[in-house]
Every structure is written in C-alpha cells, then in structure tokens.
Amino acid sequence: MDPSPKTEITVQGIAASQGIAYGQIFVYVQNDVEVPSYQVEPEKRIDEVARFDRALVVTRQQITKIKNEVEKNIGPEEAAIFDAHLMVLEDEALIGETIRAFEASGQNIETCFHQVSSRYVQAFSEIDDEYLRERAGDLRDVAQRVLQNLLGQAENALSRLADQRIVVASDITPSDSASLDRTAALALVIDSGSKTSHAVIVARSMKVPAVVGVRNLTQRVHNGDWAIVDGYDGVVILNPSESTLFRYGTIQEQKKSFDAQLLEVNRLPAITLDGVPVTLLANIEKVDEVTRAKAYFAQGIGLYRTEFLFIGTSRMPHEQEQFVAYKTVVEAMAPEPVIIRTLDLGGDKPLAGKSDLFPKENNPFMGFRAIRFCLEHQDIFREQLRAILMASAFGKVKIMYPMVSGTEEMVRANAVLREAMAELRARGVPYDEKVEVGAMIEIPSAAHTADLLAGECNFFSVGTNDLIQYLLAIDRVNDRIAHLYEPTHPALLRTLRFVIDEAHRQNLPVGVCGEMAGDPIFAPLLLGLGIDSLSMSPAWLPAVKYLIRAMSMADARALAAQAMGMRSPKEIFALCDAFYRARVRMD
C-alpha cells in the first residue's frame, strides 16, 4: 500500500556520502540487457569473433571518454576508478574463456560473453570483503556496456534528468554515477550497495549526499514524491512535515559550519587538552591514495592493503612491479612510517584465473587465506617480502602479517622473512636490516595469546572489524544479524584491555586499523584503554583529530574505566555517545 502523501515516513539506511538534500524523487530503473541466443554458421565464426573485438574496442573508447570527463570535472583520483573497468576489457581469462566457449558451442558471442561474465560477477558477489564484493558492480557495468555495443543498443545513463531530483535506484553503475549532471542530481539513494561502492565514491567526490542499503525503497516511492536525504545519519524522510523541514534546514547550516571547522583544525597537531600527543595514521589500498593521506596530514600509513595489487588481474605481479608500488608509497610518506600488510588473499578473495591456488570453500570467512595461504605458497610470500624489503631502503617500512592465530605462524613467517633477507644480501640489494615486524590481532586465539605473540614481533595492530566478527560469531555482512555487530560489547573491551596490557608489559605499541579507529564516538574509548595509534580512511582524520583536541586523555581513561564496569553494549555506546556530544558542538 502506498503511503499517504501527508504521512511522514523515516527510512533508515547506511550513510555513504555526507550532506543533506531536499527535493522530488526520480526513480531510476536500469534494465538488464536481453541477450538473444542462436547458433552461428561455421563460415561466419571468424566474423563473429571480429564483432566481439570491435565491441571491446568501442567499450574501451566509451570508458576512456568517461574517465577523461571525470578527471576534468572531478579529479584524477576519482577518474582512477575507471582503470578497473579498463582492466576488465584487458582480462585475458575473461576474453579467452568467452572465445573458447564460442568455439566449443557455436552459440552467438553475446550469449557466450554473458554466460562467462555472469560467472565472474557471481564469484565476486560472494566474496566476504566488502570492498572486493563491490567490484562485482564494476564487472557488471562493463559487461552491460559490451553487450549493449554488441546488440547496437544505446547507453543506459542518468544524463536524462530534466530537473533537480533525488535519484532513487535499486543499483547504480559507476559509469552511470559519473554521467550524473551535478546540477540536477540532488542526492543518491540506493536499495543495496555499500559505502565502498564506486558509484558512492563518485557521489562523495561530487559532494552529492548518498544513502545506501534502504531495502526496496524503489518499490515504495514514485516519481515526484518529496523527500529529505540525510547523508550524515543515513536517513531518508519521505513526505517531510514543515517542522522536519525547518529542523533539517537548521542542521544543514550547522553541518556546513562544522565541516569547515574540521578542515581548519585538521592542520593542527593531534594533541589532547592535557598535552598528550596521539598518532593518527591512514589506511590505503592503492598507490595513488597516498596523495590523499598526505592531504589530510596523516602521520604515516598504518595499513597498506597489498592484495589490491593482485586483485583484478589474472596473474601474480612480479617482484619488480610490487617493489615499484611499495617504493612509491614509502618515498611519498618519508620520513613517516608505512606499515605494509602482507597478502590477505585467498579463500574469500580469490585471484582471477588461479582456481588451482584457491579452491572453492564452504566457509571462506575462516578459510585458506592471508598468512595461511602465504605459508603454504612460500615462493609467492618470499617474493612479496623481498619487494617490501627493497622498498625499506627508501624510507621507514614496517611489515605486518594478517590473520595470525598464534606464535607458530609468526615463527614460520619470520623464518621466511629471514630467507628473503638472505637472498637480497646475496644479490647485494640494500634493505633495512632492522625492519620491524608486527602481527594483526583479529582472531580471538591471537588476542588471548598476546603475551606469547609479543615475544615474536615488534608491534600489534588490532583489526577490529574481524575481531568483533569472530568474537561475537556475527557475519557482519549478513543483514539479518547485522544489529548484533556491536563494537561496544564487553567481550571486545575485555579482549582489547588484555592485548594492550600484555603488549605494554613487553614494551610493544598497539594500534587499531579497523573501522572503530575512524569513528570519533569510539576513538576516545580506544585511547582510554591504552591504544597508542589510530589508523583510518584519510577522510575520517579531521573528525577524529577534532575530538582529540577537544578532550583530555585523563577523561578518556575515566571513560574507559567506567565502560569496563558496564554489562550492556547499548549502555557503553550511550556513554561513548554522551562523551562525544559533550565535546563536539555544531551550534
């Protein structure tokens, strides 16, 4: 039943791009291409392959044009999104499988390409990692374009907007979002998706408010309906009342003023009111993101996710390729430190075209991945370690192993590291012989043997995302139980306290590189528990630094002590939220 135009309805989603918008809704429906199926006569099969080649060329030209327009109108970092699209068109496995399927079946090339690309999309859609799972959308976007070009259909784009509208869609491809008229699109609201989808990244860069995960809102609204989109709190308000409109008008002005304050404060040191300095670092996934980290005054890189050098290609990048990538980041950040995480690949993050290395698993959440994969394939692991060590000659590098479960894996990993050092020494290649090694604490067994692990490394970095997931037995990407994923659960606080106390007892620093680190509501709690550094997405640095400069470390320690005595996650969250609100005022 459609809601009455006079009834105000609030729909909760996920905040994806900050900002507030008010206007009428345009429901965008993107239909899948209908693919005909027929047999191609033997004498026409050479022409059919040539037709496929032409479609790939035309698609490449279209995407290159979009990339150039985005670079001109938005920026080079956002334009780099479409490098992933261009890589799909060069993927030997995807193209090769399509042609082999055509040669074997004789079916038209559209059918073969659709079948092969759909398998790839499905494989990426099932990946646990949110960022990688969203790459299924990139592949689907490119596949739709290729099919449209094969069938002679016009592009399906959002450039048709005739007036200012809030765009509500079940999904939006990156190229569609890039074609948005910034003067016409007031906001984006997407049924599915996440904060890491490329469509959202483009929207964020365009400063268009966005809310995702609103579950079938497209089926509940109509073109012309009025709504408010709150990209700060992830809320969509349908048919807002006059009092709601007035309230949001006031909030919008306050937010704009506060955002300006954040950017100004971000230029200042991260020091508490009682003079305690706090180290704030940045998480990055690609080489070009180091520019953003520096722009936001990060004091180093706390997490460089190296698996993104491997994802999206059908082959392993060799030592020199890896070395160039690591060296670029290290030199750009020097003299600040760069913590390079070794491959968190395998299981739920397969490498395209390498199914022999990554067999299908029933439970990839706890499968053959990360340090387990590296210790099984030591030739790949050793090559990466050599590349990292070579980069250490150009700045301050630290090495971090992911998904460590206990001391045995640390001992074995360090043994491979020593082998890599010996190989470089024999080749006369310089490296930092005192390079520090750390363990990610993201598995309960590692957390509860922190006292033993401390003897095998130089630092700890807590991955709160997975640690919470494993501690509470909560699949954090499962919508049905997502409400049980609670960063303020007493189990997590007690675990963190044990890890921190044992590390400090042995003079090891402890950082946090999970999402909790970048949330200004949770950052004081982490610091009060004794965490030494926080690493986060560069864009989150201003808000966290603002709060640090508005609080004392003594108050943060008192907050943590009070939280440790509480029984309910909701009570602890309320305590942290009150701490935040008492120090951050937007009026």
Longest dimension (CA), the chain: 82
d(CA 175, CA 198): 9
* Closest residue by Cα to residue 278 from 298, 261, 263: 298
Q: Give the type of residue at 153.
A: Q
Q: Is 369 exposed, middle or buried (0-12, 13-18, 19+ CB in 10 A)?
A: buried
Active site residue 513: yes
* Closest residue by Cα to residue 402 from 362, 342, 453, 446: 342
Whole-Å CA distances, 49 to 21, 425, 438, 497, 581: 48, 50, 51, 62, 63
346 Rama class: left (phi>0) / alpha (psi -120 to 50) / beta = left
Catalytic residue (one of 85, 112, 114, 198): 198
Report strand pairing: 436-441 vs 459-462: parallel
Q: Give the type of residue at 482.
A: A
Q: Is the dihedral of CA 471, 534, 367, 376 positive or negative?
A: negative
3 state SS of 324: helix
Q: Give the type of residue at 349.
A: K
Q: What is the DSSP string of 85-154?
A: HHHHHT-HHHHHHHHHHHHHH-B-HHHHHHHHHHHHHHHHHT-SSHHHHHHHHHHHHHHHHHHHHHHTPP
Residue 399: its H or E element: strand 397-401
Report angle CA 360, 362, 367 to the nearest 5 degrees. 80
Tokens of 426: 């024999």
* Closest residue by Cα to residue 336 from 395, 270, 286: 395
Contacts of 126 (CB under 8 A, 6+ apart): 133, 348
3 state SS of 280: strand
3 state SS of 353: coil
Active site residue 374: no
Report angle CA 526, 528, 532 to the nearest 5 degrees. 65
The count of C-alpha atoms lying within 13 angstroms of the C-alpha of 246, restricted to the half-sphere facing its C-beta, is: 3
Question: Contacts by 426-434 with C-beta closer than 8 Å and gap 24+?
Answer: 429/390, 430/390, 430/393, 431/389, 431/390, 431/392, 431/393, 432/389, 432/392, 432/393, 432/397
Q: Is 170 exposed, middle or buried (0-12, 13-18, 19+ CB in 10 A)?
A: middle
Catalytic residue (one of 112, 374, 457, 513): 513
Query: Active-site residue numbers?
Result: 198, 513
